[in-house]
Amino acid sequence: MSTAREALLNAAHTALADRPWPAVRMIDVASAAGVSRQTLYNEFGGKDGLARALVRREADAYLSGAERVLAEPAAAGEQLVRLAEWTVAEARSRPLLRALLTGAWSDRLPAPTPAGRSAAGPAVPAQRRADAGHPAPGELVAAVRDRSLAALEPGTGRRAEEEAEAGRSCELAVRLALSCVVAGPPEGVGRLVRTALSGPGRRVAGR
């Protein structure tokens, strides 16, 4: 990602913390990033493109963060507990992530829609990816489930039924985290995941 693009995204994110998205002005974002307004338009095409890029970056950051949590040494069940606790904590402090995970977009946040197929848009590859749209909550759940399954027992062979059960355990942990993001209590997600994973017949893959 170009330095100018990253600076503009950081400036837009900072502006969004201080005022609702409709009140964020492109000229102010460009000024805060230390670049011209033309550079901003070259990168994003317009305010809608900037919104799509912000949300895409938030989704990517969440998935990268989940991978880091899963890479920390621990028993398989505890890895899922950590992932659930981390997800809830991050969603509480990051409104854009909370909206991505729940699909509930407030008036303060950009609620971007994919760019129209006929829209020319900027030629920046990163923006073309952002313009394709952000992942829905179910897509994020599936992505984290798949990453969890790969991290818990990488490169080992499992029977089909074991693979399916491990996948269900991973998805269960993520969905319990999302339920706490929506309805709380957020501090109880670790207990909920441990209880669910210790239920009858529940098997979690382990290193």
pLDDT at res. 137: 92
Span 10-53, pLDDT tens digits: 999 999 999 999 999 999 999 999 999 999 999 999 999 999 99
What is d(CA 190, CA 93) in angstroms, rounded to the nearest whole number?
18
**Is pLDDT at 202 greater than 60 in this prediction?**
no
Say which residue, 2 or 101, is predicted with more confidence.
101
pLDDT at 205 over 60: no
Average pLDDT over residues 95-122: 82
pLDDT in tens, 131-150: 988 899 999 999 999 999 88
| Mean pLDDT, the chain, whole residue set | 87
pLDDT of residue 54: 95
Instruction: Please list, in sequence order, all residues whose beta carbon lies within 8 angstroms of the beta carbon of residue 154, skipping any fewer than 6 positions away.
Output: none
- Distance of CA 169 to CAs 32, 88, 116, 121, 145, Å? 45, 18, 38, 41, 9
CA distances from 82 to 31, 89, 137 (A): 40, 10, 20
**Burial grade of 183 (CB within 10 A; 0-12, 13-18, 19 or more):** exposed
Report yes or no: 83 and 177 within 8 Å, Cβ to Cβ. Answer: yes
Domain boundaries, given as residue ranges, for the chain: 3-197
Please compute the mean of the pLDDT values over residues 96-109 and round it to a whole number: 93
All residues at 6 or more sequence positions from 172 whose CB lies less than 8 Å from its CB, including other chains: 193, 196, 197
CA-nearest of 142, 143, 128, 103 to 52 is 128
CATH 1.10.3470.10 fits 3-197, yes or no: no
Rounded Cα–Cα distance for residues 84 and 195 (Å): 13
Q: Summarize pLDDT for 159-173 with one digit per residue, the tens.
A: 777 778 888 889 999
Output the pLDDT for position 207: 45
* pLDDT score for 120: 58
